[in-house]
Structure 1
Amino acid sequence: MPEHPLRLMIVDDHPVVRDGLRGMFTGLPDITVVAEAADGHQALALARSERPDVVLMDLRMPGLDGVGAIERLRADHPDIRVIVLTTYDTDADVSRALSAGVAGYLLKDAPREELHQAVRTAAAGGRVLSSSIHSLLVDRLAPGPAPATAPTPRELEVLRLIAKGASNKEVARALLISETTVKTHLKHVFGKLGVDNRAAAVVAAMERRLI
Protein backbone atom coordinates (compact mmCIF):
# COMPACT_ATOMS: atom_id res chain seq x y z
CA MET A 1 0.00 0.00 0.00
CA PRO A 2 1.39 3.47 -0.86
CA GLU A 3 2.47 5.75 1.98
CA HIS A 4 -0.37 8.11 1.08
CA PRO A 5 -3.72 7.03 -0.41
CA LEU A 6 -4.13 7.50 -4.14
CA ARG A 7 -6.16 10.61 -4.89
CA LEU A 8 -9.13 9.90 -7.17
CA MET A 9 -11.45 12.30 -9.00
CA ILE A 10 -14.78 11.16 -10.46
CA VAL A 11 -16.17 12.99 -13.51
CA ASP A 12 -19.73 12.23 -14.64
CA ASP A 13 -22.74 14.41 -15.39
CA HIS A 14 -25.16 12.11 -13.54
CA PRO A 15 -25.21 12.64 -9.74
CA VAL A 16 -26.45 9.10 -9.09
CA VAL A 17 -23.47 7.67 -10.98
CA ARG A 18 -21.05 9.82 -9.01
CA ASP A 19 -22.70 8.74 -5.77
CA GLY A 20 -22.47 5.09 -6.74
CA LEU A 21 -18.82 5.32 -7.73
CA ARG A 22 -17.89 7.22 -4.59
CA GLY A 23 -19.56 4.47 -2.57
CA MET A 24 -17.51 1.83 -4.38
CA PHE A 25 -14.30 3.44 -3.13
CA THR A 26 -15.45 4.36 0.36
CA GLY A 27 -13.47 2.60 3.04
CA LEU A 28 -10.47 1.63 0.92
CA PRO A 29 -7.23 2.40 2.78
CA ASP A 30 -5.21 3.06 -0.38
CA ILE A 31 -7.66 5.13 -2.49
CA THR A 32 -9.60 8.24 -1.49
CA VAL A 33 -12.06 10.27 -3.58
CA VAL A 34 -10.89 13.89 -3.37
CA ALA A 35 -13.18 15.51 -5.94
CA GLU A 36 -16.27 15.05 -8.12
CA ALA A 37 -17.08 16.97 -11.29
CA ALA A 38 -20.20 17.14 -13.46
CA ASP A 39 -18.50 18.15 -16.72
CA GLY A 40 -15.14 18.69 -18.35
CA HIS A 41 -14.76 22.34 -17.39
CA GLN A 42 -15.38 21.60 -13.72
CA ALA A 43 -12.96 18.67 -13.94
CA LEU A 44 -10.17 20.94 -15.21
CA ALA A 45 -10.74 23.43 -12.39
CA LEU A 46 -10.75 20.72 -9.73
CA ALA A 47 -7.67 19.07 -11.21
CA ARG A 48 -5.76 22.30 -10.59
CA SER A 49 -6.91 22.62 -6.99
CA GLU A 50 -7.10 18.99 -5.87
CA ARG A 51 -4.31 17.41 -7.95
CA PRO A 52 -5.72 13.88 -8.20
CA ASP A 53 -3.47 10.99 -9.16
CA VAL A 54 -6.19 9.28 -11.22
CA VAL A 55 -9.41 10.49 -12.87
CA LEU A 56 -12.40 8.32 -13.75
CA MET A 57 -13.85 10.18 -16.75
CA ASP A 58 -17.19 9.79 -18.49
CA LEU A 59 -17.09 10.42 -22.25
CA ARG A 60 -20.36 12.12 -23.16
CA MET A 61 -21.14 15.18 -21.06
CA PRO A 62 -22.58 18.63 -21.78
CA GLY A 63 -20.19 21.49 -22.37
CA LEU A 64 -16.68 20.10 -22.56
CA ASP A 65 -16.94 16.37 -23.24
CA GLY A 66 -14.68 13.62 -21.95
CA VAL A 67 -12.18 13.53 -24.81
CA GLY A 68 -11.84 17.32 -24.79
CA ALA A 69 -11.24 17.27 -21.04
CA ILE A 70 -8.73 14.43 -21.37
CA GLU A 71 -6.72 16.32 -23.98
CA ARG A 72 -6.62 19.43 -21.77
CA LEU A 73 -5.73 17.41 -18.67
CA ARG A 74 -2.94 15.58 -20.47
CA ALA A 75 -1.53 18.89 -21.70
CA ASP A 76 -1.80 20.75 -18.38
CA HIS A 77 -1.17 17.87 -15.94
CA PRO A 78 0.73 15.07 -17.70
CA ASP A 79 1.22 13.21 -14.41
CA ILE A 80 -2.52 12.73 -13.89
CA ARG A 81 -3.70 9.36 -15.21
CA VAL A 82 -7.14 9.21 -16.80
CA ILE A 83 -9.39 6.16 -17.07
CA VAL A 84 -12.47 6.43 -19.26
CA LEU A 85 -15.54 4.93 -17.60
CA THR A 86 -18.47 4.92 -19.99
CA THR A 87 -21.38 2.95 -21.41
CA TYR A 88 -20.13 3.50 -24.98
CA ASP A 89 -17.83 0.96 -26.64
CA THR A 90 -17.99 1.99 -30.29
CA ASP A 91 -14.82 1.86 -32.35
CA ALA A 92 -14.87 5.64 -32.80
CA ASP A 93 -15.23 6.36 -29.07
CA VAL A 94 -12.45 3.95 -28.14
CA SER A 95 -10.06 5.25 -30.79
CA ARG A 96 -10.64 8.91 -29.85
CA ALA A 97 -10.11 8.22 -26.17
CA LEU A 98 -7.00 6.10 -26.56
CA SER A 99 -5.52 8.56 -29.04
CA ALA A 100 -6.01 11.30 -26.43
CA GLY A 101 -3.64 9.40 -24.14
CA VAL A 102 -5.85 7.71 -21.56
CA ALA A 103 -4.46 5.10 -19.19
CA GLY A 104 -7.55 2.92 -19.48
CA TYR A 105 -10.98 2.36 -20.98
CA LEU A 106 -13.62 0.57 -18.91
CA LEU A 107 -17.36 0.14 -19.20
CA LYS A 108 -19.73 1.12 -16.40
CA ASP A 109 -20.74 -2.49 -15.78
CA ALA A 110 -17.21 -3.25 -14.56
CA PRO A 111 -17.17 -5.02 -11.17
CA ARG A 112 -16.14 -3.06 -8.11
CA GLU A 113 -12.87 -4.99 -7.72
CA GLU A 114 -11.96 -4.35 -11.37
CA LEU A 115 -12.41 -0.61 -10.84
CA HIS A 116 -10.27 -0.68 -7.72
CA GLN A 117 -7.47 -2.52 -9.47
CA ALA A 118 -7.73 -0.32 -12.56
CA VAL A 119 -7.10 2.79 -10.47
CA ARG A 120 -4.09 1.17 -8.82
CA THR A 121 -2.71 -0.04 -12.15
CA ALA A 122 -3.13 3.36 -13.81
CA ALA A 123 -1.48 5.14 -10.89
CA ALA A 124 1.48 2.77 -11.20
CA GLY A 125 1.91 3.67 -14.87
CA GLY A 126 0.04 0.77 -16.45
CA ARG A 127 -2.83 0.65 -18.92
CA VAL A 128 -6.16 -1.10 -18.42
CA LEU A 129 -8.77 -2.13 -20.98
CA SER A 130 -12.03 -3.94 -20.36
CA SER A 131 -12.18 -7.38 -21.99
CA SER A 132 -14.78 -6.21 -24.53
CA ILE A 133 -12.64 -3.25 -25.58
CA HIS A 134 -9.59 -5.48 -25.94
CA SER A 135 -11.63 -7.89 -28.07
CA LEU A 136 -12.89 -5.03 -30.23
CA LEU A 137 -9.34 -3.93 -31.00
CA VAL A 138 -8.12 -7.47 -31.61
CA ASP A 139 -11.05 -8.13 -33.97
CA ARG A 140 -10.10 -5.05 -35.94
CA LEU A 141 -6.61 -6.46 -36.34
CA ALA A 142 -7.62 -10.02 -37.21
CA PRO A 143 -7.99 -9.65 -40.99
CA GLY A 144 -4.63 -7.96 -41.40
CA PRO A 145 -1.63 -9.91 -42.72
CA ALA A 146 1.53 -10.31 -40.69
CA PRO A 147 3.91 -7.40 -41.23
CA ALA A 148 6.53 -7.93 -43.91
CA THR A 149 8.96 -5.73 -42.00
CA ALA A 150 9.30 -5.60 -38.24
CA PRO A 151 9.41 -2.24 -36.45
CA THR A 152 12.88 -0.95 -35.69
CA PRO A 153 14.17 -0.76 -32.09
CA ARG A 154 13.55 3.01 -32.10
CA GLU A 155 10.00 2.55 -33.36
CA LEU A 156 9.39 0.02 -30.60
CA GLU A 157 10.72 2.50 -28.03
CA VAL A 158 8.11 4.98 -29.24
CA LEU A 159 5.41 2.32 -29.15
CA ARG A 160 6.28 1.24 -25.59
CA LEU A 161 5.84 4.80 -24.37
CA ILE A 162 2.57 5.13 -26.29
CA ALA A 163 1.39 1.91 -24.62
CA LYS A 164 1.94 3.58 -21.24
CA GLY A 165 -0.35 6.44 -22.26
CA ALA A 166 2.29 8.97 -23.29
CA SER A 167 1.35 11.73 -25.74
CA ASN A 168 3.50 12.55 -28.78
CA LYS A 169 4.95 15.49 -26.86
CA GLU A 170 5.87 13.29 -23.89
CA VAL A 171 7.45 10.67 -26.17
CA ALA A 172 9.49 13.37 -27.89
CA ARG A 173 10.70 14.71 -24.55
CA ALA A 174 11.58 11.26 -23.22
CA LEU A 175 13.51 10.21 -26.32
CA LEU A 176 15.02 13.66 -27.05
CA ILE A 177 13.50 13.83 -30.52
CA SER A 178 10.99 16.16 -32.18
CA GLU A 179 7.24 15.59 -32.23
CA THR A 180 7.48 15.42 -36.03
CA THR A 181 9.92 12.52 -35.70
CA VAL A 182 7.56 10.78 -33.28
CA LYS A 183 4.73 11.11 -35.81
CA THR A 184 7.00 9.73 -38.54
CA HIS A 185 7.93 6.72 -36.40
CA LEU A 186 4.26 6.07 -35.66
CA LYS A 187 3.36 6.31 -39.35
CA HIS A 188 5.99 3.69 -40.12
CA VAL A 189 4.75 1.48 -37.27
CA PHE A 190 1.16 1.71 -38.52
CA GLY A 191 2.25 0.59 -41.97
CA LYS A 192 4.35 -2.29 -40.68
CA LEU A 193 1.62 -3.55 -38.34
CA GLY A 194 -1.22 -3.04 -40.80
CA VAL A 195 -3.18 -0.66 -38.53
CA ASP A 196 -4.36 2.93 -38.72
CA ASN A 197 -4.19 4.31 -35.19
CA ARG A 198 -2.21 4.28 -31.94
CA ALA A 199 -4.56 2.04 -29.98
CA ALA A 200 -4.61 -0.67 -32.64
CA ALA A 201 -0.81 -0.44 -32.97
CA VAL A 202 -0.34 -1.08 -29.24
CA VAL A 203 -2.67 -4.07 -29.28
CA ALA A 204 -1.06 -5.46 -32.44
CA ALA A 205 2.41 -5.16 -30.93
CA MET A 206 1.27 -6.86 -27.73
CA GLU A 207 -0.45 -9.68 -29.65
CA ARG A 208 2.75 -10.27 -31.62
CA ARG A 209 4.90 -9.99 -28.48
CA LEU A 210 6.86 -7.04 -29.82
CA ILE A 211 6.37 -5.04 -26.61
Structure 2
Amino acid sequence: MKTRIVRVLVTDDHPIVLDGVTLALQNTPWLQVAGYARSGREAITAVERLKPDVVLLDLRLPDMLGPEVVQALRAQDSAVKIILFTAYPDHAALDAALAAGAHGAVVKDTERDDLVDAIRRVMAGERVLCINAAGSSGAALSRKLREHGLTRREYDILRRVAMGETNPEIAVALGLTRNTVKTYLQRTLEKLGARNRVEALSRASQLGIL
Protein backbone atom coordinates (compact mmCIF):
# COMPACT_ATOMS: atom_id res chain seq x y z
CA MET A 1 0.00 0.00 0.00
CA LYS A 2 1.41 3.38 -1.01
CA THR A 3 2.12 5.81 1.84
CA ARG A 4 0.38 9.15 1.48
CA ILE A 5 2.77 12.07 1.02
CA VAL A 6 2.12 14.93 3.45
CA ARG A 7 2.96 18.31 1.93
CA VAL A 8 4.24 21.01 4.28
CA LEU A 9 4.30 24.78 3.74
CA VAL A 10 7.03 26.36 5.88
CA THR A 11 6.30 29.95 6.93
CA ASP A 12 9.11 31.89 8.59
CA ASP A 13 10.94 35.13 7.82
CA HIS A 14 14.39 33.74 8.68
CA PRO A 15 16.15 31.89 5.82
CA ILE A 16 18.19 29.77 8.23
CA VAL A 17 14.97 28.38 9.72
CA LEU A 18 13.62 27.55 6.26
CA ASP A 19 16.84 25.73 5.43
CA GLY A 20 16.89 23.92 8.76
CA VAL A 21 13.32 22.68 8.48
CA THR A 22 13.89 21.53 4.91
CA LEU A 23 16.91 19.56 6.05
CA ALA A 24 14.95 18.07 8.94
CA LEU A 25 12.03 16.97 6.78
CA GLN A 26 13.71 15.85 3.58
CA ASN A 27 14.96 12.60 5.12
CA THR A 28 11.40 11.53 5.97
CA PRO A 29 9.96 9.66 2.94
CA TRP A 30 6.33 10.59 3.59
CA LEU A 31 7.01 14.33 4.08
CA GLN A 32 7.53 16.86 1.31
CA VAL A 33 8.20 20.60 1.58
CA ALA A 34 5.54 22.08 -0.69
CA GLY A 35 6.90 25.60 -0.51
CA TYR A 36 7.93 28.56 1.61
CA ALA A 37 6.44 31.83 2.78
CA ARG A 38 8.15 34.64 4.66
CA SER A 39 5.09 36.60 5.78
CA GLY A 40 1.50 36.05 6.75
CA ARG A 41 0.17 37.33 3.45
CA GLU A 42 2.57 35.13 1.50
CA ALA A 43 1.35 32.14 3.51
CA ILE A 44 -2.29 32.88 2.73
CA THR A 45 -1.52 33.15 -0.99
CA ALA A 46 0.65 30.02 -0.91
CA VAL A 47 -2.07 27.94 0.78
CA GLU A 48 -4.49 28.87 -1.98
CA ARG A 49 -1.93 28.09 -4.69
CA LEU A 50 -0.11 25.04 -3.30
CA LYS A 51 -2.85 23.34 -1.26
CA PRO A 52 -0.49 21.98 1.43
CA ASP A 53 -1.65 19.51 4.07
CA VAL A 54 0.22 21.25 6.88
CA VAL A 55 1.42 24.81 7.49
CA LEU A 56 4.39 25.12 9.82
CA LEU A 57 3.81 28.69 10.99
CA ASP A 58 6.17 31.03 12.82
CA LEU A 59 4.26 32.74 15.61
CA ARG A 60 5.96 36.09 14.95
CA LEU A 61 5.85 37.35 11.37
CA PRO A 62 6.73 40.83 10.10
CA ASP A 63 3.34 41.76 8.65
CA MET A 64 0.61 40.00 10.64
CA LEU A 65 -0.09 38.74 14.14
CA GLY A 66 0.01 34.98 14.67
CA PRO A 67 -3.68 34.60 15.62
CA GLU A 68 -4.68 36.73 12.63
CA VAL A 69 -2.70 34.51 10.24
CA VAL A 70 -4.19 31.34 11.72
CA GLN A 71 -7.73 32.66 11.30
CA ALA A 72 -7.04 33.73 7.71
CA LEU A 73 -5.49 30.37 6.81
CA ARG A 74 -8.44 28.50 8.29
CA ALA A 75 -10.81 30.70 6.29
CA GLN A 76 -8.77 30.02 3.15
CA ASP A 77 -8.73 26.23 3.63
CA SER A 78 -10.62 24.67 6.53
CA ALA A 79 -8.89 21.33 6.00
CA VAL A 80 -5.30 22.58 6.32
CA LYS A 81 -3.51 21.69 9.55
CA ILE A 82 -1.58 24.50 11.25
CA ILE A 83 1.35 23.89 13.59
CA LEU A 84 2.84 26.91 15.32
CA PHE A 85 6.63 26.87 15.15
CA THR A 86 8.08 29.25 17.72
CA ALA A 87 11.19 30.16 19.65
CA TYR A 88 8.98 31.80 22.28
CA PRO A 89 6.87 29.14 24.03
CA ASP A 90 5.90 31.69 26.71
CA HIS A 91 4.71 34.31 24.21
CA ALA A 92 1.24 35.48 25.10
CA ALA A 93 0.07 35.12 21.50
CA LEU A 94 0.45 31.34 21.67
CA ASP A 95 -2.85 30.83 23.48
CA ALA A 96 -4.63 33.23 21.14
CA ALA A 97 -3.25 31.46 18.05
CA LEU A 98 -4.34 28.09 19.40
CA ALA A 99 -7.77 29.52 20.18
CA ALA A 100 -7.95 30.86 16.61
CA GLY A 101 -7.71 27.31 15.29
CA ALA A 102 -4.08 26.15 15.25
CA HIS A 103 -3.73 22.39 15.70
CA GLY A 104 -0.46 22.33 17.60
CA ALA A 105 2.71 24.09 18.68
CA VAL A 106 6.36 23.08 18.51
CA VAL A 107 9.45 24.94 19.72
CA LYS A 108 12.11 25.65 17.12
CA ASP A 109 14.87 23.84 18.99
CA THR A 110 12.92 20.57 19.06
CA GLU A 111 14.58 17.40 17.78
CA ARG A 112 13.87 16.38 14.18
CA ASP A 113 12.10 13.20 15.25
CA ASP A 114 9.82 15.17 17.56
CA LEU A 115 8.92 17.61 14.78
CA VAL A 116 8.14 14.75 12.41
CA ASP A 117 6.09 13.02 15.12
CA ALA A 118 4.14 16.22 15.81
CA ILE A 119 3.23 16.48 12.10
CA ARG A 120 2.20 12.82 12.04
CA ARG A 121 -0.01 13.19 15.13
CA VAL A 122 -1.66 16.39 13.90
CA MET A 123 -2.42 14.72 10.58
CA ALA A 124 -4.02 11.89 12.59
CA GLY A 125 -6.36 14.38 14.24
CA GLU A 126 -4.56 15.06 17.50
CA ARG A 127 -3.83 18.43 19.04
CA VAL A 128 -0.13 18.48 19.85
CA LEU A 129 1.84 20.78 22.16
CA CYS A 130 5.55 20.04 21.98
CA ILE A 131 6.76 23.06 23.90
CA ASN A 132 9.15 23.24 26.82
CA ALA A 133 6.72 25.35 28.76
CA ALA A 134 3.59 23.44 27.79
CA GLY A 135 0.65 24.73 29.73
CA SER A 136 2.55 27.77 31.00
CA SER A 137 1.55 30.20 28.27
CA GLY A 138 -1.66 31.03 30.11
CA ALA A 139 0.32 31.96 33.20
CA ALA A 140 2.70 34.00 31.05
CA LEU A 141 -0.23 35.88 29.52
CA SER A 142 -1.73 36.65 32.94
CA ARG A 143 1.64 37.96 34.10
CA LYS A 144 2.03 40.23 31.07
CA LEU A 145 -1.49 41.58 31.42
CA ARG A 146 -0.87 42.42 35.08
CA GLU A 147 2.40 44.15 34.19
CA HIS A 148 0.59 46.50 31.84
CA GLY A 149 -2.60 46.94 33.83
CA LEU A 150 -4.86 45.13 31.37
CA THR A 151 -7.77 42.92 32.36
CA ARG A 152 -8.55 39.60 30.71
CA ARG A 153 -11.70 41.10 29.19
CA GLU A 154 -9.71 43.96 27.67
CA TYR A 155 -7.28 41.41 26.25
CA ASP A 156 -10.11 39.33 24.78
CA ILE A 157 -11.49 42.38 23.01
CA LEU A 158 -8.04 43.44 21.77
CA ARG A 159 -7.40 39.93 20.43
CA ARG A 160 -10.65 40.04 18.47
CA VAL A 161 -9.73 43.45 17.08
CA ALA A 162 -6.44 41.86 15.92
CA MET A 163 -8.49 39.24 14.08
CA GLY A 164 -10.33 41.96 12.19
CA GLU A 165 -13.65 41.84 14.06
CA THR A 166 -15.77 44.99 14.33
CA ASN A 167 -17.25 46.31 17.57
CA PRO A 168 -20.71 44.87 16.76
CA GLU A 169 -19.17 41.46 15.99
CA ILE A 170 -17.17 41.54 19.22
CA ALA A 171 -20.28 42.51 21.17
CA VAL A 172 -22.21 39.51 19.81
CA ALA A 173 -19.31 37.10 20.38
CA LEU A 174 -18.76 38.18 23.99
CA GLY A 175 -22.37 38.89 24.94
CA LEU A 176 -21.76 42.59 25.54
CA THR A 177 -23.40 45.79 24.32
CA ARG A 178 -21.66 47.79 21.61
CA ASN A 179 -21.15 50.69 24.02
CA THR A 180 -19.52 48.37 26.54
CA VAL A 181 -17.11 47.08 23.90
CA LYS A 182 -16.31 50.66 22.90
CA THR A 183 -15.64 51.57 26.54
CA TYR A 184 -13.36 48.58 27.09
CA LEU A 185 -11.48 49.34 23.89
CA GLN A 186 -11.00 53.01 24.76
CA ARG A 187 -9.68 52.02 28.17
CA THR A 188 -7.28 49.56 26.55
CA LEU A 189 -5.96 52.22 24.17
CA GLU A 190 -5.32 54.54 27.10
CA LYS A 191 -3.42 51.87 29.03
CA LEU A 192 -1.27 51.10 26.00
CA GLY A 193 -0.66 54.76 25.22
CA ALA A 194 -2.19 54.33 21.77
CA ARG A 195 -4.23 56.82 19.76
CA ASN A 196 -6.06 54.25 17.64
CA ARG A 197 -6.53 50.52 17.04
CA VAL A 198 -3.53 50.19 14.76
CA GLU A 199 -1.22 51.73 17.34
CA ALA A 200 -2.76 49.58 20.08
CA LEU A 201 -2.14 46.37 18.11
CA SER A 202 1.42 47.42 17.32
CA ARG A 203 2.10 48.32 20.94
CA ALA A 204 0.56 45.07 22.21
CA SER A 205 2.67 43.08 19.76
CA GLN A 206 5.86 44.86 20.90
CA LEU A 207 5.00 44.05 24.53
CA GLY A 208 4.44 40.37 23.73
CA ILE A 209 0.73 40.55 24.58
CA LEU A 210 -0.45 39.68 21.05
TM-score normalised by L of structure 2: 0.62
Residues 69, 60 of structure 1: alpha-carbon distance in 2 compared, 3 angstrom cutoff: same
Matched with 1:123 is 123
In structure 1, how many angstroms separate the alpha carbons of the residues matched to 2:2 and 2:99? 29
Matched with 1:64 is 64
Give the C-alpha shift of residue 124 in structure 1. Answer: 1.5
Residues 118, 138 of structure 1: alpha-carbon distance in 2 compared, 3 angstrom cutoff: same
Count the aligned residue pairs. 145
Does 1:78 pair with 2:78? Answer: yes
8 Å CA contact 2:66–2:93 kept in 1: the answer is no
Deviation above 2 Å: which 4+ runs of structure 1? 1-4, 64-67, 131-135, 137-140
Give the C-alpha shift of residue 137 in structure 1. Answer: 5.7
Give the C-alpha shift of residue 4 in structure 1. Answer: 2.5
8 Å CA contact 2:88–2:107 kept in 1: the answer is yes
In structure 1, how many angstroms separate the alpha carbons of the residues matched to 2:91 and 2:64? 21
8 Å CA contact 1:10–1:18 kept in 2: the answer is yes
Matched with 1:154 is none
Give the C-alpha shift of residue 66 in structure 1. Answer: 2.8
* 2:134 alignment partner, SS class: helix
Give the C-alpha shift of residue 91 in structure 1. Answer: 5.3
Q: Report the identity percentage.
A: 33
Residues 136, 73 of structure 1: alpha-carbon distance in 2 compared, 3 angstrom cutoff: same
Give the C-alpha shift of residue 114 in structure 1. Answer: 0.5
Does 1:13 pair with 2:17? Answer: no
Cα deviation, 1:34-88, whole Å, max 9, x if unaligned, reads 1110011111111011101111000111112332211101112110000000111
Give the C-alpha shift of residue 98 in structure 1. Answer: 1.1
Give the C-alpha shift of residue 131 in structure 1. Answer: 4.5
In structure 2, how many angstroms separate the alpha carbons of the residues matched to 1:59 and 1:13? 11
Matched with 1:48 is 48
* 2:60 alignment partner, SS class: coil
8 Å CA contact 1:2–1:30 kept in 2: the answer is no
- RMSD of aligned Cα (Å): 2.5
Cα deviation, 1:5-34, whole Å, max 9, x if unaligned, reads 001110000111101101101132111001
* 2:78 alignment partner, SS class: coil
The equivalences for 1:1-211 within 5 A come to: 3-90=3-90, 92-136=92-136
* Aligned AA (1:123): M
Cα deviation, 1:127-157, whole Å, max 9, x if unaligned, reads 11025242416978xxxxxxxxxxxxxxxxx
8 Å CA contact 1:39–1:65 kept in 2: the answer is no
In structure 1, how many angstroms separate the alpha carbons of the residues matched to 2:137 and 2:89? 11
* 2:42 alignment partner, SS class: helix
Matched with 1:157 is none
8 Å CA contact 1:57–1:85 kept in 2: the answer is yes
